[in-house]
Amino acid sequence: MTAKEGKNKALVRRFLEAHAKGDLDALGEMLAPDYVNHSMLPGHKPDRDSYLQAMAEYHAAYSNIRYVIEKQLAEGDEVVTTFSALLTHDRAETAGFAPTGKEYEVTHIFIHRIAGGKIAEEMGAGTGLQERMEERLEQEIRERERVEQELHVARRIQQASLPKEVPTLEGWQISPLYQPAREVGGDFYDFFELPDGRLGIVVGDATGKGVPAALVMASTRSMLRAVAQASNYSPGEVLRRVNDPLVTDIPPNMFITCFYCILDPESGRLKYANAGHDLPYLHRRRGEAEELRARGMPLGLMPGMGYEEKEIVLEAGEATLFYSDGLVEAHDPEGHMFSFPRLRALIAQHAEKESLEKALLEELYTFVGEGWEQEDDITLLALRRSASLS
């Protein structure tokens, strides 16, 4: 071995010592300006600066790093080093691996090319990756199981919150349709029996997915029911009284859109208020679908909100549709949205059919095509006054 080869081996040993200590200044001193690393992990460039950044991330993830050099061979400008590394992954995620707190032993072979007393190139390989891959697979399996369990719980909460029976009113047809997506959302609907034979109807949607959305949905539904049946409150007053406690009770960045109306079956009067929910449609006989507009912020966003009230009268043969955004925001294979204008036109076309909600669902399936993966829960609730009032 020549003196130059001995110096090269000593340089690599110092380099590995600095590597184990995380001494970035010393590493930078020993790297050539045009240093190239041929074995960088994905996401890092092979240049000098990226290498130093990778070393910083490495030491941010691992502790108790020790290197034991087992063999070194030097020939010309190249040094081949075999060494084992002992390290504990207990600080941060790295390369897609979550910290486990375990100590690992990895064997490496590095080849360094020396130029002008600096390390100009590096390439290497190591063992121990298989064990990490198996661990990550186990982590992914556990995470999938956790998500599936959460979805199961959320579905149970949501299904338990839906009404078990649909009210029967003489001269009226009420037809709800609820179709959950795999990722459970916060859709809900309910019916409240009120004094004088009146009926409260609510359709809403809590933002988010999974258990948080299901819990917020269930809590909001319970509050709406309690307030609506506590006194002779109007729809706007019910929404106002439910809004303020929700502002403090639900998690930040969550809110609930909600449409609430009270039907007087005898007169056909429908008084309603809207807390930021998709506008229902009213279909007059031999006419187009009309939007039922009323101003109001979603529940749970800001305290002290007021809710505008409106009133209509449903005549014989007329119908309204309440729905959630899972229908209008569905996309076809080209990314086009089902959309509000499309829904409005279809209501005008199909409103006189006995099952408006099923006709709309069939139109949706035609629009999205085969292989569609439902993106959000779909709730449709049709309210129709019989064509004959006798």
Q: How far apart are CA 320 and CA 343, in angstroms?
A: 13
Which 3-state string (H, E, C) describes 277-308? CCCCEEECCCCCEEECCCCCCCECCCCCCCCC
CATH superfamily of 162-385: PPM-type phosphatase domain (3.60.40.10)
Residue 281, pLDDT score: 95
pLDDT, one tens digit per residue, over 1-17 is 798 989 999 999 999 99
Give residue limits of the domains in the chain: 3-127, 162-385
Q: How many residues can be counted in the chain? A: 390
Mean pLDDT by 10 residues, the chain (390 residues): 90 94 95 91 85 91 92 93 91 80 88 95 74 62 74 69 88 91 78 94 88 84 92 94 93 92 97 97 86 96 95 93 93 92 90 81 91 86 82
Structure tokens at 275: 């807390």
Phi, psi of 300 (to 5 degrees): 90, 0
Strands (E), the chain: 31-37, 62-75, 78-89, 103-115, 118-126, 172-179, 186-193, 199-206, 256-264, 269-275, 281-283, 289-291, 309-313, 319-323, 378-385
Residue 340's closest CA among 349, 330, 351?
A: 330
Top CATH class, 3-127? alpha beta
Q: How far apart are CA 30 and CA 12, in angstroms?
A: 9
pLDDT, one tens digit per residue, over 83-117 is 999 999 899 887 777 788 888 888 889 999 999 99
Render 167-226 in DSSP notation, one character per residue.
Answer: ---TTEEEEEEEE--SS--EEEEEEEE-GGG-EEEEEEEESS-HHHHHHHHHHHHHHHHH
Do the domains spanning 3-127 and 162-385 agree at the CATH topology level? no
